[in-house]
Every structure is written in C-alpha cells, then in structure tokens.
Structure 1
Amino acid sequence: MASQSSSSRDSITPVQQMVASCSGALLTSLFVTPLDVIKIRLQAQKIPLTKGKCFVYCNGLMDHICVCENGNSRAWYKPRGHFSGTLDAFIKILRMEGIKALWSGLPPTLVMAVPATVIYFTAYDQLCAAFRLQMGERAEMAPLLAGAVARVGSATLISPLELIRTKLQSQRQSYRELSAVIRSAVHTEGWLTLWRGLGPTLLRDVPFSAMYWYNYEKAKAWLCQYNKISEPTFSITFISGAVSGSIASIATLPFDVVKTRRQVELGELQAKNLSPRASSSTYNVMKRIVAESGVRGLFAGFMPRLIKVAPACAIMISTYEFGKAFFRKQNQERPVLTLQTNNTRSL
C-alpha cells in the first residue's frame, strides 16, 4: 500500500508532461533556429533562389516548406551582402539586419512544431509506461515501440496542417481563408490530399524515433550505472540525447534526403497550381537521386544534418527531463505540505 502511494506521488500528470515538453520545444526552437537561418542564407548565395522556388527550413523540431518570392522581406533568403562562412554570416546578419533576423521563421514553429512536439513527447511517455507493463520480460523494447507509435500519431495529425500552411504561403492567402483552402483541396483531389507527403515523412521519422528512444534509454541507464546514481542528471540526459540523436540521424539520412527533395517538388507544384506528378513518389525520387548523383547522393548533407540534429535532440530531451524532474519533486512535496497544514489547523 505504501509503495503504491509512493509511486503515485513520484509520477507526473499528462498536463505536467505537456508543460515540460512545451518548455523543451520552445528552448530548442530559440537555440536552433539561428543555425538554420544562417545555413539557408549560405545555401541561397551559392544557388540563388528564383521566384516560385522552394526550400525546406528546419529548426530542429519540424520541417517547413518556404516559397521564395521576389521582393519578399523574409530574412532567411533575401540577399544582403556576401558571406564567407558561418561566423561571417552570423556577424553580418546581426550588424546589417538586427538580432531579430536570426529568428526568421520562428512564428510557424511556435504555431505548428511546438504543439506537435507536445503531443509526441506526451504520447511517448504514456505509451512507454503502458508497454512496459504489458511486455513483461521484454520491457526493454518498450521505448522502441512507443517511439514509433507516438511518431506515427503526431505526424499523421500534423500532416494536413503542414500541407495547408504551404498552400497559404504559396498562394498569399490569410488564415481567414483556411476553410476555403481545405474545401477546395478536398473537392478537387479528395480527403487523402491533406495527407500528401505523409509516406516519406513516416519513412524517415518513424525509424528515427524508434532508434532514438531505444538508444536514449539505453545510454541514460548505462551512464547512471557508470556514475553509480539512481536518477539521471541534466548532463547525462544531454549527452544521451545528443548521442542517440546522432545515431538515428545518420541511419535515416537517405530517407531525409528523399523527403526533402519530394517536399520541395510538391511545394513548387502547389505554388504553380499544378497537380503532383507520378514521378514524385518516394521510390522514383530515390531512383532519380541515385541516377543523378550515385548512391552518395542519398547521403548528401550528412554533416549539416548531424550538426543540427545532435544539439536539437540534446536540448529538447534534457529540458524535457528537467521539467519532469521538477514536477515530480513538486508532487512529492505536496503531500508533506498538506499534512503540515492539516496539523497546524488541528492545533
């Protein structure tokens, strides 16, 4: 009976999990967004973006398709001088455009990526706890299964919003016209059009999530055992998140390359009000990449992806675990405070 009471105090509620994951998502967005803004600005000066062209903007939490328009003031692709490298770009953007330019694209992150991350992390924790109870001796596989299922759910929920947001950007419409966009797309192409692009997203994100959570839990447990402590510290969760994120990003890189290419193609077709071609399927995109650049083309962008994913995973998971530890401590102290208050009233 006492152990049951103790476990209930040590656990945290789904709402507290949501608050913890929301904090992690906000911090990750704030830290990683400048890195991707600089990366896109460097890429744009090598291959100038013409009107109607698309590029993928990713802040460590979520991908966003952006349509380039001449004369647009979005700082991530508006040409402003020449950059010789990452540090030079950072200094010149600060000097010429101000500190706000480094966080261009943060609003769509806060609107879409943060809710998606909250759903994903909360679902993972709830599913992992349930799978551990059901799987018994094979409970160590629970993080792998929970990570995969949680990612399928969150990606499926957010996919229609991502497609609609791309249409709004490409066609210069306001959010008030959102319902008209939905009705038009469904009427012309059916309900499944809202989930276009979900296939390559799942091919990349589901294996990534499964490997990430499995390796993260293993690394965290090993580091705790090595340091002879029962609860992971902030540094342990940070290192575990960075290592597991790096492994998962390397393993799923070909799917990331295919997904990025397909996203850009779909975005450009939507900007021109054209229907997607059959050749835009995941398999055909992969064949085209191999034909153009060889097998090495499927591993393009290895270092930039690693540099961005590792710190993003580390910041997100360590902040999330810190938030959960904070709420867990609050829950443990609450019964003590309640007992002291009752004793004071009785006196």
Structure 2
Amino acid sequence: MDIVANYHPVFKAFLAGSFSGTFSTILFQPLDLVKTRLQNPSQNVVAAAAVNGRIQPGMITIFTNIIRQEQIIGLWRGMVPSIARCVPGVGLYFSSLHWLKAKLGKTRNQDLGPLEAVTLGVVARSMSGVALIPMTVIKTRYESGVYKYNSLGGALKAIYKAEGIRGLSCGLGPTLARDAPFSGLYLMFYTQTKQAVPKEWLQTPTAASLIHFSCGVVAGIAASLATNPADVLKTKMQLYPDKFPNTFSAALYVHQTYGIKGYFKGAVPRMLRRTLMAAMAWTVFEEITRTIGLK
C-alpha cells in the first residue's frame, strides 16, 4: 500500500475501481447470463417452457436449462469479455468520477447534491461506456448462445470483418441510455441515502461497510427498474444489428411482440445482478480508498 500511496489520485481511483469490479463481475456473471437469455430465449428454452404450460420461459427455466445443457461452468459463459469490459469499465468510471469531482472543486469528504450526483454519474459512465462499447457487444453475443466465437480476439476480428466499425459499436445509443442514467440515478440515491445515515453509525469499519452495502442495494433497485427498457433494446440491437438498425425499430418490435411488459424482460436477474454488483463494488471501493488514503 505504501507504493500505491504515491500514485496520482485519479490512478488510485482507477486501481480501486478495477479491483472492486473484478470481484463483483465474477460473482454475479450468472445473473447477467440469465438476463441475456431471458431477453433472447433460444428455441430449446421456449420449448421447455411450453411443456410446463408457459408461453415464455422464466428465470428458473433458463437457469436449469443452462446447467443441463452446458453444466455449471456454462453459467459463467462470456466471463472473459465481461472481465475485459467490466473491470476496466469500473476503473474508468471511478477514476472519471474522481477527476470530475476535483474539477468541480469538491473536497474528498464533501457530499454531492442530488443534481450534481446525477450529472457526474451520467458523464462518468458515458465516458467509460463509449470507450468500452466493443467489449459490450462481444459480451452480449457471447452470453446469448447465438454466436460461437472461439476467443475474444477472434470475436473482434469476426465482427469487424463482417460488420465493420458499426458492428463493434452497435447498440451504443441504448447502452448509454441504460448505463448513464443508471449510474446517475444510482449515485444520487447512494449519496442521498448515505447522507440520511447518522454519522456516528459510520464510526467502525464493520458498521460502515454494512451501511455502504445497504445504501448500495437501495440505490441499485431504484436505478435498475428505471433503466431496464433501455437494456432490452440494447440486447436486441447487439444480437440482431441487421434486423434492428436503430433504437426505434427495436422498441417497435418489442412493443408489438410483447407489449409494455416486454420492456421489463430480464428485470429480476438484472436487478439482482446490478444491485448486488454495484453495492459490492461501491463497498469494496470505499474500503480500498480509505485504506490507501484517497478519501
């Protein structure tokens, strides 16, 4: 930690964010996989749901089908692109957030107001989202089971060769419409919830970690539900770019096929994953930054 203490504050934030992102990404990858499959179920899964008298497969049906067809390890399908996207993505987000706070003249212990929190969260997530959109495309396709890529490099080459730059950036609009508001709303709910907690409750490390995690859960639930429609559209556009060349075509298809409820397909596993992942990432980040003297 003595070596890290000499690093630039922005780089410290990047390291702390990347470290926290690693744990949360690996732990909650199965929920992201199930969410993607819910939004784009295969014919086998649809058939299995029909046997049970359901028109559309549920979370448990997809979960058990993955284990049956791909074994337990199948729940971590797409782990490599998830790590390649989420770990530097979380690092970039936290470092961008730290840099933006410094530009606004905020001190390390100064709480953000609601509007400031939303704005900084949106801008910081947009910066990391644009930089890592190719990894987002590959991650979505890996998890869907529709594309059979042999490696991360092979996926990049295959997409670029077949679809060009557009293929590597498809779904950028819905991705930003999902991630930027999520991060803005999450940061607002997180900071406001923390401000409502009596300061004396944060005196011990154990109590502080528990409160940070609890605040993260509350913030995650609210932000996840608000941004799930954009996540559904993002998945459709990245899996079938020829069929859905823009956000409107994807939104029209979802509405005509499933109705309003179609915009909330995969909401439960996504809410579980995003809420727990964000809560854990922030809790670990808070502890690491406290240890290395960043805040």
User: TM-score w.r.t. structure 2 length?
Assistant: 0.73
Q: Structure 1: which 5+ residue stretches go unaligned? A: 1-8, 50-83, 267-275, 333-347
Asked if 1 retains the 8 angstrom alpha-carbon contact of 2:97 and 2:124, the reply is: yes
Describe the shift of the 1:93–1:126 C-alpha distance in structure 2 as closer, same or farther (beyond 3 A). same
Q: Structure 2: which 5+ residue stretches go unaligned? A: 49-58
The reply on whether 1:292 has 2:292 as its aligned counterpart is no
Which residue in 2 is equivalent to 1:151?
125
The reply on whether 1:47 has 2:46 as its aligned counterpart is yes
Describe the shift of the 1:179–1:109 C-alpha distance in structure 2 as closer, same or farther (beyond 3 A). closer
User: TM-score w.r.t. structure 1 length?
Assistant: 0.63
- What is the rounded CA distance, in whole Å, between the counterparts of 2:12 and 2:222 in structure 1? 29
Letter in 1 for 2:184: A
- What is the rounded CA distance, in whole Å, between the counterparts of 1:171 and 1:104 in structure 2? 11
The reply on whether 1:14 has 2:10 as its aligned counterpart is yes
Which residue in 2 is equivalent to 1:325?
290
Shift of 1:105: 2.8
- What is the rounded CA distance, in whole Å, between the counterparts of 1:291 and 1:179 in structure 2? 33
- What is the rounded CA distance, in whole Å, between the counterparts of 2:195 and 2:187 in structure 1? 12
Shift of 1:85: 4.5
1:276-291 equivalence runs, <5 A? 276-277=242-243, 279-291=244-256
Shift of 1:196: 2.4
Describe the shift of the 1:12–1:237 C-alpha distance in structure 2 as closer, same or farther (beyond 3 A). farther
Q: CA RMSD in A?
A: 4.1
Letter in 1 for 2:226: A
1:1-347 equivalence runs, <5 A? 13-36=9-32, 46-47=45-46, 85=60, 89=64, 93=67, 97=71, 100-133=73-106, 140=113, 141-163=115-137, 170=147, 172=149, 184=161, 194-225=168-199, 227=201, 233-266=208-241, 276-277=242-243, 279-328=244-293
Asked if 2 retains the 8 angstrom alpha-carbon contact of 1:164 and 1:181, the reply is: no
- What is the rounded CA distance, in whole Å, between the counterparts of 1:145 and 1:311 in structure 2? 23
- What is the rounded CA distance, in whole Å, between the counterparts of 1:109 and 1:292 in structure 2? 29
Asked if 1 retains the 8 angstrom alpha-carbon contact of 2:217 and 2:275, the reply is: yes
Which residue in 1 is equivalent to 2:53?
none
Letter in 1 for 2:281: M
- What is the rounded CA distance, in whole Å, between the counterparts of 1:233 and 1:165 in structure 2? 34
Describe the shift of the 1:36–1:108 C-alpha distance in structure 2 as closer, same or farther (beyond 3 A). same
Aligned pair count? 270
Describe the shift of the 1:294–1:89 C-alpha distance in structure 2 as closer, same or farther (beyond 3 A). closer
Asked if 1 retains the 8 angstrom alpha-carbon contact of 2:229 and 2:264, the reply is: yes
1:287-320 CA-to-partner distances (Å, cap 9, x unmatched) read 2221222222222233222222221111111111
